[in-house]
Structure 1
Amino acid sequence: MTQSIDDRLAELGLTLPEAAAPVAAYVPTVIHGGLLHISGQLPFQDGALMTGRVGEDREIPFAQEAAKRCAMMLLAQARRALDGDLSRIERIVKLGVFVNSAPGFTDQAKVANGASELMIDVLGEPGRHARSAVGVAVLPLGAVVEIDAIIAVR
């Protein structure tokens, strides 16, 4: 990608949030062997956690927006871990998407697309990644989605 990531974010009208502090006994990021591992990130909108269960009290578009906001928080965590230099990102290797799902809900992949599409929109080809999209019975603090990442960095 010849355009800077920051320029692409601005072009898309996106502003990354401040990287969230961990809420338990873990660190938000670890760099090892050329890989940046980012702990699970939760979705926030207007300072409030996006909560609920897809297929019960939340619809797919809400959850897709939550996944997009998780992806933005992943990029915010990457920015912090990389001393502000997102150009060090070589490729999004894998996203792990956990969707707070009602029994019988089977469209976790559609929810995960909210994050996947954001990574591709922002990073281009290096944003294409492997992914898992898993339905779970509950997430921390009642979040509707949680996403972690593995990112190749220079």
Structure 2
Amino acid sequence: MRPDVEEFFCGISFDAYRLLGSHPAGPGRGWLFTLWAPHARRVQLLGDWNGWDLYSAAELTFCEDGLWRGRVPQAQLGQLYKYNIQGPDGSWQLRADPFAFAFEALPGTASRLAEPNYPFAAPLLRGARRDAPILIYELHAAS
């Protein structure tokens, strides 16, 4: 098992966003998708690249320990997508990517292909104030 996958399942991964979600595959190679859905029978990808057509959905491959992976060569930055997941009971559900870096505007619920390019500096701030109290604020993303 890859070290990043092992860390994720052991609960010690602080950067699971690097393993899961959507990531550029390289110039002209589309996007890579990884979803953890251990009880799914099948996982497909629908999006702007295929006109949201169920019959031309990209199939993800079951890899290890509940991870599903696939590459969509025609996917491009800014396009919307959702996972189409077949559960253990055979029913299908369209779901947004829980590790997406961007989403469509409300009332829509699709994920948007975006690169994680924000240089987040909170670890530096925490190190400078190690003995000071911190305030953690939870924000409901749909708010």
> Normalised by the size of structure 2, how large is the TM-score?
0.29
> Normalised by the size of structure 1, how large is the TM-score?
0.28
Structure possessing the higher relative contact order (Cα contacts under 8 Å, 6 or more residues apart): 1
Who wins on radius of gyration, i.e. which is larger? 2
Higher helix fraction (1 or 2): 1
